[in-house]
Structure 1
Amino acid sequence: MHSHNYRVPDPFKGQVVVVVGYAPSGVDISRDIVGVAKEVHVARRSPATSETESTALPNLWLYPMIERVEEDGSVLFQDGSRVKADTILHCTGYNYHFPYLGEYLGIFVDDNRVGPLYKHVFPPHLAPHISFIGLSLKALVFPLLQLQSNWVAGVLSGRIELPSQEDMMEDVKTFYSELEARGFPKRHTHDLGACTYEYEDWVAKQCGHDGIEGWRKEMFIAALKNFVHHPESYRDEWEDGHLLTQANRDFTKYL
């Protein structure tokens, strides 16, 4: 009996691939396939671009967003550039969808805003029986998940008390009004962005914990800057190694 090693053919080998989206997933995927694909063309919304840009990789190009896709597979970009694609990959994020919570429970998704939610977690009219953990974007994700979980656990155990339903609903309305006044799109309701530290420190305070450690915040900022300036190597090379010493010192408290 003979054994054979079979290799699954790479689906992108020799192909012209268009990747839509250039957040971390789009960056990583485009660079994963660039070694086997013939060409990789990336359409990106941010940072804003008005024309095609070459990269350090000879078969990877950056474009503004797509104007249209034609029946023969041709992709027309907003700067007038055109390529004929074998494959189009959408790295454009995802939409929240909770159809089982809609009419019956009064929790709706409107343009990717899940609501009404107090501080992105509790529906005022159903708290504490239903809660959401991890909806927020552009945050220190793992500390955020831990803090929100601790907050929910504390509320369910009775150790932490939520405001009244009326006060929570008023907070939600105020938050939505502030977003609208700033011209913030509804679909970005759960995008913490520059408010991530303020929000996570607030949740930590509800749990009786200290705020997010300084070294975590510094690492987050350094990683973002590294991603912007060195997208091709930001996961493999960094210049904030000195913060590891502070992190190790904190972690020893748990050993």
Structure 2
Amino acid sequence: MTINSPTATVPFSIAAMPVIASRTVAVIGAGAAGLAAARELVLQGHSVVVYERDTRLGGTWAYTPESESNLMGLDPMRQIVQSSLYASLRTNLPREVMGFRAFPFSASQKPGRDARRFPGHAEVLEYLKDFADEFGLRDLVRFGCEVCHVRMMEDHKWMVRSRKRNEFGDSREDDKVYDAVVVCNGHYTEPRIAEIPGIDEWPGKQIHSHNYRVPEPYRNQIVVLIGSAASANDISRDIAEVAKEVHIASRSVQIEELGKLSGHENIWLHSMISYVCKDGTVAFEDGKEVFADVILHCTGYKYHFPFLETNGVVTVDDNRVGPLYKHIFPPALAPWISFVGLPWKVVPFPMFEYQCKWLAGVLSGQIPLPTINEMMADVEGFYSSMEASGIAKRFTHRVGDLQFEYNDWLAGQSGSPPTEEWRKPMYLVASRKKRSAPETYRDEWEDEDLISLAHLDFEKYISNVKISL
């Protein structure tokens, strides 16, 4: 992909296409976003092929104990491990909120399943498998097929080159041409790394959370962990069970919070790292220093599309994928290429569903898009409002508190019902509880009334499915 190409132009005219009921569509990735895309596209009558580099579906929810040989993820030639899950991970949202609207995430009655309201990662994977089976999506997936090149063709088509390896390690490449491509490759494999003065001479070990799995390698060690998001909170407590000391460095920590973390004997909160030294010292901006064995970066990820060639039309600049209309369509290439799942700090699965309903309807010709100029004006207005508000470019796709407004806008475009009345308040209750009671929020809650409303909706869905059958 072309990065930072201010002079990039569209290499040919994207002419208005006649309305055709069915398109051939390549979906890249069989995680939650790719499965949602496949379902909505099929419902609109499109012919769909899903490319999945792994031998199983689930994307980042397909846990593996393996980690990459390059623990910081900086070597572009490394063998990439797709999942970023750690063994102890439980969801930080209740299952009712997490699930697709079309397929409620209720506690399964099957033997061996995790019935907790905030289940472990294995239960989420089982849910995605159930979703794929419910709607017959597995037959659409080409497992073990890595997409290595996607490029525009001059007849408004897209060439998708995939690579499939056999059991002996030999690979075979295959080129197919599609009307449209939907990019659902996720954004949890290319690590972002904190810049630390002196790090080149610091003698300790560094690792990005993408490669963290279990705490045992950190037994009796002093660990400095950078970050304040969900993974940092979970991993710090996981490691503290075996480590000698855990020191959390965060930009968001308040002065009154500095020092030992309440309820823990070996976890300390600090401001950000100021510098590190070749004698092993890690110095924090709050004036404290420790001699550490490990620095663990829980510092997020970069958007990464190494397979995508758009002649500079779509770029990634400081983690802004753009220009994109509503985080999905590049105006000059719409609707023939689209991106699902870029927004972050959101409830992902329902958002995927709304995005995919819209793009599938647009591809079928049932939903019109604004003109290229109108879409570009909207994008430029969005970027200008961010700049005027002092929001850094790297936060372009952070939707946060606006996610339900965004989902409802998408729902309006596709003629779908808006967000259920219980989903937003349930999300807000869970978020507030997570902040006030980080150790217990997964197992103690106070929104039984909202749970009842959710299950009433689930019963309506199940009844509707039985009627349609």
Q: Same fold (TM over 0.5)?
A: yes
Which deviates the most, 227-236 or 152-161? Answer: 227-236
Cα 1:183–1:9 change in 2 (3 A) is closer
Partner of 2:128: none
* Residue in 2 that maps onto 1:251: 458
Partner of 1:188 in structure 2? Answer: 395
Query: How large is the RMSD of aligned CA atoms in angstroms?
Result: 1.8
Other-structure match for 2:250: 44
Cα distance between partner residues in 2 of 1:145 and 1:9: 32
Which residue does 1:201 correspond to in 2?
408
- 1:57 correspondence with 2:237: no
Q: Any gaps of 5 or more consecutive residues in structure 1?
A: 1-7
Letter in 2 for 1:172: V
Shift of 1:215: 1.1
Tell me the equivalent position of 2:229.
Answer: 23
Greater relative CO (CA pairs within 8 A, separation 6+) = 2
Cα distance in 1 between the residues matched to 2:364 and 2:219: 54
| TM-score of the pair, normalised by structure 1 | 0.91
TM-score (norm 2): 0.51
Contact 2:358 2:410 in 1 (8 A): yes
Partner of 1:84: 291
Q: Secondary structure at the match of 1:11?
A: helix
Identity of aligned residues (%): 53
Measured in 2, the distance between the counterparts of 1:202 and 1:146 equals 13
SS in 2 for 1:125: helix
Range that drifts further, 168-177 or 148-157: 148-157
Count of aligned pairs between the two proteins = 248
Task: Write the distance in 1 (CA, Å) between the matches of 2:223 and 2:444.
Answer: 27
Identify the match of residue 114 of structure 1 among 321, 334, 344.
Answer: 321
In the TM superposition, what whole-angstrom CA distance separates every residue of 1:200-231 from its partner, at most 9, and x where no partner exists?
A: 11011111112111211011111211122122
Q: Among residues 228, 231, 235, which one is paired with 2:438 in the alignment? A: 231
Residues 59, 243 of structure 1: CA spacing in aligned structure 2 closer, same or farther, 3 A cutoff?
same
Q: How far did 1:237 drift?
A: 2.4
Shift of residue 149 of structure 1? 1.4
For residues 99-248 of structure 1, the aligned pairs below 5 Å read 99-101=306-308, 104-248=311-455
* 1:9-68 deviations in Å (ceiling 9; x for gaps): 910111111110011110011111111111111111224447722221111111111111
Aligned mates of 2:234, 2:215 — CA distance in 1: 20
Q: Distance in 2 between matches of 1:67 and 1:170?
A: 41
Is 1:96 aligned to residue 303 of structure 2? yes
Distance in 1, matches of 2:402 and 2:424, equals 12
Matches of 2:324 and 2:291, distance apart in 1: 44
Q: Which has the higher helix share?
A: 1
CA deviation vs aligned residue, 1:131-168 (integer Å, no higher than 9, x gap): 11111011222211111111111111222111111111
- Tell me the amino acid that sits aligned with residue 282 of structure 2: V
| Rounded Cα–Cα distance in structure 1 between residues aligned with 2:426 and 2:280 | 42
Aligned to 2:19: none
CA 1:27–1:212 in structure 2 vs 1: closer, same or farther (change >3 Å)?
same
